[in-house]
Structure 1
Amino acid sequence: MAETVAGRVKPRPIIRIGLFVISHSTLVSIVCCVAGVLALLLLPVLAKSTYFSENALMPGSAKSMLSGKNVVEANRFVKELSSLGLKPPSTGLEIPKLIATRMADLGGEVSYHNFHPQSKYFHPLHFFSTPDPGMVKANYSCSSYGVNIVGIARAPRSDGKEAIVVVTPYNSTNISLGEAMSLGIAYSAFSLFTQVSWLAKDIIWVAADSRHGEYDSIVSWLRDYHAPSFGGLEKLNAKVCRESLVTGSEVSDSFLRGGTMAAALVIKVADGSELFDKDALSIHAEASNGQMPNLDLINVVNYLAVHGQGFYVKVDKLPSLLRSKWLKVLGKVIESLGKIARNLNPQWKFGIPVSEYVEGTATLASSLYNQALGVPTGLHGAFRDYQVDAVTLNILPKSSSYHKARRSEFLLNGARLVEGITRSVNNLLEKFHQSFFLYLLTSPSKFVSVGVYMIAFLLLIAPLPVVAASLYSDAHKCNPELKNKEVTSMDFVDGRTFKSKSWRWLYAAKTVFVIHLWGFVVTVLPFFMSQIRGCSSTTSLLIWIASSGFSLILMHVLLGSPFVTTSIPQSKGKEWLLLKSVTITSAFIGLCLMSVINFATAEIGALLTVPMCLMARPLKQDLKVRSTKAFARAALNLFLLHIGFPVAAYFLVKGAFEGFDNISVGDFWYWVESLWVWNSATYIYICMAYTPCWVLCIHILLHPC
């Protein structure tokens, strides 16, 4: 029970602590923001080594069964593909026929999958749903279709309820040497899978035709695999095209399926070569909305590639951070602190070498950046939309790997890697679930879990509710006439003004609501813009910005200006306090919701939004004071608003992570289009949460105090 002192109720300790924090909101904001940034920079130091959570995987426990005979046949297959690739571009039927014939010769069940390119026009009703199959026109020719070749090696020890997918993209009209090599690796592994007796899951090899785009090919196949369509013009056209491809009775005329997909591997071989002393393997794992495969899958790939086949394994790094001088200085400071900590207590394992810290930070920033973009970094992203754990393995041969004498060894190592990964996944009795799904990589063998990296985000957004409560309290304290007035109901004075101070925040809430309603209009504008054909990316972006500004003016006319609130005589000039309080509250809610969907987007959004919201203050007040502090605050506000503009923020983040070379205005529009294609929630956050918050901060700065 609450204690009483001199007839007055003494607040509970938790309430007293809350009031103390609110009364010192400025200090709390500075401490939390600085701590949040430092926690983010310390994540590479806090990274842990990866480990296998699922014991059934047992990577490397079995000896490879892939023989030299499999590689010889694969080498001959690569030569046949290369010879077809040297010929002038054809109708795109010769290479699919050859792949289908070789699949059938190995004993696999083979079928063709015809698809047509998908429309990339934005449609709000199809957002967060399966891709739109589009309309198939009667005059579609076979050349306008893509052709996927699907081969299935049935598992002798299963009932066909589970499957593992191997994808090799190729261009059916002009195949490159790298694509031929990736098909050769899959051919070697598939020739083994059709012969072994230990398979407990079906193996599905998809040779995906990439002449109309890699994503279209695999997305169309996955859509038909999980949600088949029956009848209609599309089936008739596909059947006609299939008849021109069929080479014999060994190719099925129906869509073949396996069981539920346990995992998927996308195999790609680079056309060029790396200047390493051994073959390199780059792992790409980020999917739409920052989704990641189970960490155990990456651990299996890394372990078998390094310890089994001797690959140099790497993940994406940001080159700009590798050359950063300030990051090296920070690394030296952390290394020195680590030495001091070990001298005090040898058990304190704090601090890492400078080189390891710089590389870890560059890798972690790349992982954070790729997840925040909201679009996949490879074909594996199509599988994550169906909750299938998948990665893209981009193999980069060393300079001598394309020589004829070295090609067989390269094919053998690549096929054995596929065999080992498949064998580990084959041991699972259930889907991946033991290890982490939410993590950031600092190297192929180190990661930061969700329980650690969320600390930085929580510290960054912690000041928002504190400052919102402080502003709400200050807005009422500055009203001496209503300070002690007890009003429990809402009255109107001349039908315009509230008497009750308890409802004064509704004026600010109205402004925030109208601006967020305008954010919804901005979200759906690209649907109408997509009706305009032939516009360049730069033109489309400028039209979008101009139409968004016009829609804001139109809403001012139709709904009443959100920038002019009814004055409350007793608190004249203090409406901006309540407006800022409600604005900060809406920004806090938006960041929290986005962190559930895509943490990386919320993290970068917090780095941009939190300073902008906390610093916002009417410029008129600072100009009246005419002090150095006031002018500095006004200049900082203007700077934050300039870099906070969504287009400017995109180029700032992209330049900071990728470098400012070769950046064009149209890049923002291309990125937005990719968000539509993958139904990324990042697009919704930018249009309906971040942009309205930026507009409201402008309103606070221009508020007529």
Structure 2
Amino acid sequence: MGLLTNEHSRNRLIKLLLAHDTKLCCLSYIAGVVWFLALAYQPFNAGTYISENALLPGLVESELPPMFTSAFQIKDEIHTEVHRDKKLTPQAWIYKKFTETGLETYTHNFSLIYPFRSVKSQLVTGENVYSILRGRRAASTEALVLSIPLRPLMNVNKERPATHGGIALALALAKEFKRKPYWSKDIIFLFTDFDEIGTLAWLDAYHQTESEYIKANDLPARSGPIQAAVNLELPAEDVSYYNLLLEGLNGQLPNLDLVNLVVRLCRREHSQVAIHHSMEKRRHQFSDSKGESWSDFKLSLSTMLRMMWYQASGAPSGNHGMFHKFHIEALTVQGVVKKKGSHDDIITSARIVEGVFRSLNNLLERFHQSFFFYLLPSTNRYVSIGMYMPAFEAEEVLDKVKEHLQEAAKDDEFEEDEADVNNPANQSVLSIVPIVLVSLLLAWMAHQGPELLMRIMPRFRIHTEDMVIYSMLAIFTAALMYPKMMIRKSSNPFLVIDWRLLKSVALIGQTLALACVALLNISQAFFLAAFMVPVTCSVKPSKSRILRWIQMLALVMVSLLVLMYFVGLASAWPQASTLDLLFKGYANTKHLIFLGLMDAYLFNAWSEMIGTAVIFPLWLLFWAVPWVDPSL
């Protein structure tokens, strides 16, 4: 305690920390990053388990017919139907078939108002189809949803595969489920148009909420509160493995029990299951192998980073992400086709889906016992929030250490100059107020810029994506020049910029921002901290022009616009030549920024707001530090 209470000892400690602050900060940052990545190593994480005993996945036995010939017949029918016109989706055919089964079947119309005026047809209409199987043992007090997106053949690609097998499977299961007396929850078979847009329109109508740009008609019929949902994307061909998509809007994840349930039932059918196409070794999926080798660690780390990559975007990885917005646990199951290896036919897929819904039928309350915040290095291992938050705090402690050291250094200088009251270099809070205000103004322009562009865009014949990226580049260019313009106009000697105070304020803001983001989207906070923290903590005024330009270049490299370009390059890799890679990276960056903006308008995604209204103004504060004259 003497070290803390004795002023002389405390000053010695502060001076010692100031002398070695760079070494301590670098050590804490490296330790935090290594610790976080090491969590993918199997001895440092935990094995998955079912927390909700009511799910009873091991006791669910399939009651489907051994041959299940109706599924194959329906699959042939839907194949013929969708090939009649590759531009259309088969809503009429689905409505007719479900009506013939005796279920309540309805259509649901909605319209999308395009946010930007540059498009000639601002109104896009769509139609959903849904059918309700009423549970015999309940009075429509709870419901489960099986969702299948409708995609015309002409729009099918690798990221948005065909779902005709899922349509056939849903219709075949509806006929079988209707015969069973044990359903205590209603089952809703939902077929959505325009993927996430149609899903959100139906959910808005179901919960009687409204969106600004998605206008949905009222539903003619509904059930009770939805407990869980499964979005099924199954092709017509036999699948090689099942790919799970978990990430929802703003980085939300489904309850871990739902993920474990699907994985357990896939393994019961001896089917391979992956997370974002990261395949484990087959012996690890069906055994309790230790997985402590270097190759196993690399695979686990790759799987965890893939999941973090998708989660960091804040965009939903599938239609299931719209259910998270309404506190409904949901995930997407994709069937992936490969030429080589074993294949599972539609009967295997039907048994998995049947098992999931029969397990969910046992739920007595909402999912709550397992984790909502986690990372998955494999399908049978998890990293909980209690495991990764200490590692993230160790990575971010660099901000806190630097912040306190800046304050300590400022106090020391203040004591030395205290006798000279009239010293023109005495600095105050007022010296940094103009920089803070200009930073907030530029951030407001970046955040509200697209809204302002909507009013003038019809006058210019420029593509929407180009207009958005040009406006971002213009604001970024102005941001690069604002410190030089402000410092030149700071002629008052009593208002010389206190760079230590400015940096302390920026560090406090960065620490609070990253900590808040980490509670909601750990992946987004981790990647931001990994790139920004070491650069922002090391910037300071310098008499050396070379060192000052190096700091400025490093700050530009960790700016949001440049980081987005790096993301575009990573998504474009590989290309035939370096020039092709650079151009493709620019095109991807332009598209990613536009999609982030559309998600903000249509789905109320937070990534665009966090980037422009939180991270960007903080970066502007750091950008002003190297411009200050170090002699003042």
The equivalent residue for 2:195 is 214
* 1:55-134 equivalence runs, <5 A: 55-68=53-66, 71-88=68-85, 95-121=90-116
SS where residue 401 of structure 2 aligns?
helix
1:365 is displaced (CA, Å) by: 0.6
The equivalent residue for 1:466 is 401
SS where residue 28 of structure 1 aligns?
helix
The equivalent residue for 2:441 is 517
For the 8 Å contact 1:477–1:483, the answer to whether it is kept is no
Instruction: Say whether 1:25 aligns with 2:21.
Output: yes
Deviations 1:136-176 (A, max 9, x none): 99xx8xxx632211110000111211100001112368798
Cα 1:590–1:182 shift into 2, 3 Å: same
SS where residue 604 of structure 2 aligns?
coil
* 1:694-705 equivalence runs, <5 A: 694-705=619-630
Give the whole-Å Cα distance in 1 for the aligned partners of 2:199 and 2:95.
17
Pick from 167, 170, 182 the counterpart of residue 198 of structure 1.
Answer: 182
1:520 is displaced (CA, Å) by: 2.0
1:611 is displaced (CA, Å) by: 1.3
Give the whole-Å Cα distance in 1 for the aligned partners of 2:97 and 2:142.
24
Instruction: Say whether 1:539 aligns with 2:466.
Output: yes
Cα 1:553–1:618 shift into 2, 3 Å: closer
SS where residue 116 of structure 1 aligns?
strand
TM-score for both structures, normalised by structure 1: 0.76
Instruction: Say whether 1:673 aligns with 2:597.
Output: yes
For the 8 Å contact 2:238–2:346, the answer to whether it is kept is no
Report how many aligned residue pairs link the two structures.
598
Letter matched to residue 96 of structure 2: T
Letter matched to residue 594 of structure 1: V
For the 8 Å contact 1:507–1:566, the answer to whether it is kept is no
The equivalent residue for 1:268 is 233
The equivalent residue for 2:578 is none
For the 8 Å contact 1:317–1:366, the answer to whether it is kept is no
1:182 is displaced (CA, Å) by: 0.9
1:353 is displaced (CA, Å) by: 0.7
Cα 1:396–1:647 shift into 2, 3 Å: same
Cα 1:609–1:552 shift into 2, 3 Å: closer
SS where residue 297 of structure 1 aligns?
helix
SS where residue 357 of structure 1 aligns?
helix
User: Which structure has the bigger radius of gyration?
Assistant: 1
Cα 1:478–1:172 shift into 2, 3 Å: closer
For the 8 Å contact 1:285–1:391, the answer to whether it is kept is yes
SS where residue 108 of structure 2 aligns?
strand
Give the whole-Å Cα distance in 2 for the aligned partners of 1:660 and 1:565.
49
The equivalent residue for 1:310 is 270
The equivalent residue for 1:334 is none
The equivalent residue for 1:385 is 325
Pick from 43, 49, 52 the counterpart of residue 51 of structure 1.
Answer: 49
Letter matched to residue 86 of structure 1: H
Give the whole-Å Cα distance in 1 for the aligned partners of 2:141 and 2:12.
60
For the 8 Å contact 2:51–2:369, the answer to whether it is kept is yes
1:91 is displaced (CA, Å) by: 6.9
Instruction: Say whether 1:651 aligns with 2:565.
Output: yes
Letter matched to residue 620 of structure 2: V
Instruction: Say whether 1:641 aligns with 2:555.
Output: yes
Gap runs ≥5 in structure 2? 282-288, 576-583
Give the whole-Å Cα distance in 2 for the aligned partners of 1:697 and 1:446.
39
SS where residue 448 of structure 1 aligns?
strand
Give the whole-Å Cα distance in 2 for the aligned partners of 1:53 and 1:222.
28
Give the whole-Å Cα distance in 2 for the aligned partners of 1:519 and 1:435.
39
1:28 is displaced (CA, Å) by: 2.4
Cα 1:563–1:603 shift into 2, 3 Å: farther
Pick from 32, 38, 42 the counterpart of residue 34 of structure 2.
Answer: 38
Report the more deviating stretch, 651-660 or 593-602.
651-660
* 1:150-549 equivalence runs, <5 A: 150-171=130-151, 178-209=162-193, 213-227=194-208, 255-270=220-235, 279-307=240-268, 309-316=269-276, 352-399=292-339, 410-479=345-414, 482-483=417-418, 504-531=428-455, 532-533=457-458, 535-536=462-463, 539-548=466-475
Deviations 1:236-259 (A, max 9, x none): xx79xxxxxxxxxxxxxx622111
Give the whole-Å Cα distance in 1 for the aligned partners of 2:101 and 2:78.
17
1:99 is displaced (CA, Å) by: 1.3
Give the whole-Å Cα distance in 2 for the aligned partners of 1:206 and 1:699.
53
Give the whole-Å Cα distance in 2 for the aligned partners of 1:667 and 1:423.
41
Gap runs ≥5 in structure 1? 123-135, 240-253, 323-348, 488-492, 624-630
Cα 1:20–1:259 shift into 2, 3 Å: farther
Cα 1:527–1:272 shift into 2, 3 Å: farther
1:599 is displaced (CA, Å) by: 1.8
1:281 is displaced (CA, Å) by: 0.2
Give the whole-Å Cα distance in 2 for the aligned partners of 1:223 and 1:563.
53
The equivalent residue for 1:603 is 526
Letter matched to residue 265 of structure 1: V
SS where residue 156 of structure 1 aligns?
coil
CA RMSD of aligned residues (A): 3.9
SS where residue 111 of structure 1 aligns?
strand
